Amino acid sequence: MQIRRVRNDEAEIRRYVTDCWLSFQEDLTGAEETHALADDATEAAVEYHLEELDSPESRLWVALDGVGEEMASLSTVDGTFAGLVRTQTHQSPQRFDWPDRLEIEDCWVRERYRGTGLADDLFARAVQHAREDGCPEFTLTVGVDNERAVGYYEKLGFEVQGFGMRVPVEDLRLSLDEGPAGDATTHLRRVRAEEPVLRRFIEECWLPFWQEMSEAVGEQHLDPELDREELLERLVESYDTPDRRCWVGLDDAEDPATPLEDVAATFAGWINAGLAPIDPFLDPPERLFVGNLYAGPDYRGTGLADQLVARAMQYAREEGCIELVLGVEAGNDRALAYYEKLGFEPYEQRMAVPLDELELSATSPGSHY
């Protein structure tokens, strides 16, 4: 058994896609209800991996069994592709007090090689990558119905950190019957990508949201030395796109001509949403991703949260999206209960483990062979 790195070379990647990746995807389609390949997946996957492996932060290894000529090119080698692992380093954004993380993007072992220790050998390469890049934590995302994969990751020491949840737009259970306006006393204004508006938004919406998030899950999220100017620059950039929207709820009617940064009303809550990115080789339904939803403590139970979600639902319909998706932290029980009440169900889970707590049966690459 050899473990070889796949280089950013079209011939190598094409061989990897046809002899390894497609089998991996077929397994995922059988294990995860929401996973479906597009009809023209092969070419899209080759282009995708060429782009991904062009980054020094990304690495991909494959396990080869029965190799005839050990030094043969990966594009022509005579052997069986027995498994794979793909990793990527994610540096913590400056505004958050998180460690740098190594994301396990893909990990798979062909069925007849399961139980041989090959999965641990592949993970040992990921451990090596994490140590070389100074990442103290592993993260990954796995479908909640992929029980075999979840069981393996739990055996390694991974714990659930959060959930991806979804609901068909037509199944969303809102208490509002009159569209986005509803009966709430607040009214909504769109936050535009303008510095004066976003300066106020940061202080009255963004910071309270993340401060409460830290309290809810018992983990510090914000960098104590947060650079507000750097944050402002990033928000202007992220909201200055055609496929993303942000609204705030104001607790008192105002002249709609008054600039948002000057209104006397309180910013009672906010929501941002955008078209969910889609891997070019997958065939999921069009989805609207809800990035953040927040109602201030004084406005909970007033219908504001439903009003904000209803606006996102209208946005989804305008864009032809048939599902809403979002992420929620595992310890945020209040948010989780609210989303379940709306009809959201988990479809994937985010898991993590500190590097020094990973429970591998192998401590060095290739130790089983």
Residues 109, 82 contacting (CB under 8 angstroms): yes
Q: Tell me: do 251 and 316 sit in the same domain.
A: yes
**CB–CB of 290/339 below 8 Å?**
no
3-state secondary structure 222-254: ECCCCCHHHHHHHHHHHHCCCCEEEEEEECCCC
Does residue 160 lie within any of the structural domains?
A: no
- Both 97 and 201 in one domain: the answer is no
- C-alpha 308/C-alpha 324 separation (Å) is 13
At 256 the pLDDT is 73
Average pLDDT along the chain: 88
Would you say residue 163 lies in a domain?
Answer: no
Note the pLDDT tens digit of each residue in 21-52. Answer: 999 998 888 666 666 676 778 998 999 999 99
- Write down which residue in 118, 152, 186 finishes a domain: 152
Question: Rounded distance, CA 135 to CA 356, Å?
Answer: 11
Decide if pLDDT at 273 tops 70. yes
Do residue 255 and residue 212 come from a single domain?
yes
The answer to whether residues 180 and 240 belong to one domain is yes
CATH number, domain containing residue 46: 3.40.630.30
365 falls within a domain: no
Segment holding 304, helix H or strand E: helix 304-318
Residues 262 and 336 grouped into a single domain = yes
362 lies in some domain: no
d(CA 247, CA 201): 10
Domain interval for residue 19: 2-152
pTM: 0.87
pLDDT digits (tens, 9 = 90+) for 275-293: 988 777 777 678 999 999 9
**What confidence score (pLDDT) does residue 331 get?**
86
Q: In 3D, which of 55, 56, 62, 57 has the Cα closest to residue 13?
A: 62
Backbone angles phi, psi at 223, to 5 degrees: -70, 125
Determine, yes or no, domain membership for 220.
Answer: yes
**Residue indicated by tokens 């992929």:** 146
CA nearest neighbour of 14 among 35, 41, 38, 39: 41
| pLDDT attached to residue 49 | 95
Kind of pairing, strands 323-329 and 101-109?
A: unpaired
Same domain, 144 and 189: no
Tell me, what amino acid is at 150? V
157 belongs to a structural domain: no
Average pLDDT over residues 301-311: 94
Of residues 73 and 82, the one with the higher pLDDT is 82
pLDDT at 366 over 50: no
194/179 Cα distance (integer angstroms): 28
Q: How many domains does the chain have?
A: 2
Inside any domain, residue 167? no
Is the domain of 180 the same as that of 148?
no
Same domain? For 230 and 188 the reply is yes
In a domain, 350, yes or no: no
Q: Judge if 190 and 63 occupy the same domain.
A: no
Residues 196, 338 within the same domain? yes
Does 124 have pLDDT greater than 50? yes
Q: Which of 174-178, 198-202, 308-312, 333-337 has the lowest mean pLDDT?
A: 174-178
pLDDT at site 95: 61
